[in-house]
Copies of this chain bind each other. A is one copy, B any other.
Amino acid sequence: MAHLLELTQQGDPGTIVDESQLDKIQLQNPQQLYELWERQQWQAHGIDLSRDPADWQALSDDEREYILWGLSSFFIGEERVTTQFSGLVMAYEDQSEEAYLATQQVDEARHTQFFGRYYDQVFSIGGGIDAQLERVREHVNDAFVRLFDEVLVAENKRLIADPSDRGAKIDFITTYMMVIEGTLALTGQYTITTFLERRGILPGFIEGFQNISRDEHRHVAYGTWYLQQAVRRDRSVGERVQAKLAELLPIAAEVLVPPGCSLEDEWEMFGFTRSEVHGYAFQALSRRMKAIGLGIPQLV
C-alpha cells in the first residue's frame, strides 16, 4: 500500500488516524483535486508485468481460483463505475467540478484498461475487454448484481434525466463514493494488496492496484467534500445520506462474502477475518462521516 501520508494527501479523511479534528477538517475542493490528478498520471499500459506470469503459474489451482474471484469483482466493478458515471459529470455545478468529474471518469476507464491488459497478459483470458467481462461475470454474487447493475444504474439514469436534481446527486455520491468506492473497493484493495505483498507475488499487479487505490482515495475525497458542503448548507441532506447508507450497507456487506459462505459465517478473505474486514471498512466510513458532520447508522 502507498504510505499513509501519501493517502492522506489525497484528501480522503478515511485515512486520518487522529479523529479528534475530523469535524473541523478543511477538505480539498474539486479544483485542488483536479490539479492533484494532473500530478498523478499513470499508464495502465506502461506497468511492467514481466514477473507476474511465472508467479501466477506457480500458484495452485485453488489459489488461482480464489484470486480470480477477488479480482473479477473489481474488473466488472470498474466497467460499471466507468459507464454509469456520465449523469454525475452532467450534474457539475461549476467548471472546476466539471473538470474534476471528467478526471474521475477517465480514471475508471484506465482502471478497466489495467484489468483488461492484466487478464490478457497474465491470466491468459483475452479477446478484448467486452469478451473478458462476459467471461468473468460468473464470479460475482447476487448482492453485487443488485448494487452495480440495479441501484447504481438507476441512480445514474435519474441524474441523466435531470442533472439539476440535487437529491439525486446526493444519492448518487453516497452510493458511489461512500459505499462502492469508500467502503467496498478500498477495503478489498487493502486486503488483496496486503495478501499479495505478504506472499511476495504479482508485483506488476500490486503496482497497478496501488495506483488504482490512490485514485479511489482522491474520488472519495471529492465525495466527502461534496457531502460536507451539502450538509453544512442544509442539515436535512444528512438524513438523506444516512437513509441511503442504511439501505445499501447491508447489500455492500453481502458483496464482500466469499463464494460458498454466508454473511454470518466466520469467513476469511485474503487472510483477514470477517470482523477485520468489516472493522476496516467501518472505521474508514465512520471517519468520512465525521468529516461530513454525521454519525453512521448502526448496521455493519
> In this assembly, does A92 line the interface, its C-beta being within 8 Å of a C-beta of chain B?
yes
In the complex, which residues of chain B have a beta carbon less than 8 angstroms from the beta carbon of A128? 94-96
In the complex, which residues of chain B have a beta carbon less than 8 angstroms from the beta carbon of A191? none
Contact A39 B34, CB 8 Å, known A82-B102, A95-B133: no
Interface residues on A, range: 35 or more
Minimal beta-carbon separation of A272 from chain B (angstroms): 31
Copies per assembly: 2
In the complex, which residues of chain B have a beta carbon less than 8 angstroms from the beta carbon of A224? none
> In this assembly, does A113 line the interface, its C-beta being within 8 Å of a C-beta of chain B?
yes
Minimal beta-carbon separation of A104 from chain B (angstroms): 9
Smallest CB-CB separation from A41: which chain B residue? B41
> In this assembly, does A112 line the interface, its C-beta being within 8 Å of a C-beta of chain B?
yes
Check A43 against B39 for contact (C-beta < 8 Å): yes
Contact of A105 among B39, B89, B130 (CB under 8 A): B89
CB-CB contacts below 8 Å: A11-33 with B = none
In the complex, which residues of chain B have a beta carbon less than 8 angstroms from the beta carbon of A41? 41
In the complex, which residues of chain B have a beta carbon less than 8 angstroms from the beta carbon of A129? 94-96
Contact A83 B109, CB 8 Å, known A35-B45, A45-B35: no
* Main secondary structure on A side of the interface with B: helix
Minimal beta-carbon separation of A248 from chain B (angstroms): 24
A128 to B35, CA, bound (A): 14
Check B46 against A38 for contact (C-beta < 8 Å): yes
Check A89 against B92 for contact (C-beta < 8 Å): no
The list of the 6 closest CB pairs from A to B, nearest first, reads: A95-B129, A99-B109, A102-B109, A41-B41, A102-B106, A86-B86
B-contacting residues of A (Cβ < 8 Å)? 34-35, 38-39, 41, 43-46, 79, 82-83, 86, 89-90, 92, 94-96, 98-99, 102-103, 105-106, 108-110, 112-113, 116, 128-130, 133, 160
A-B contact pairs, 23 of them (CB 8 A): A35-B45, A38-B43, A38-B44, A39-B43, A79-B95, A82-B99, A82-B102, A83-B98, A86-B86, A86-B89, A86-B90, A90-B160, A94-B130, A95-B112, A95-B128, A95-B129, A95-B130, A96-B128, A99-B113, A102-B102, A102-B108, A102-B109, A105-B106
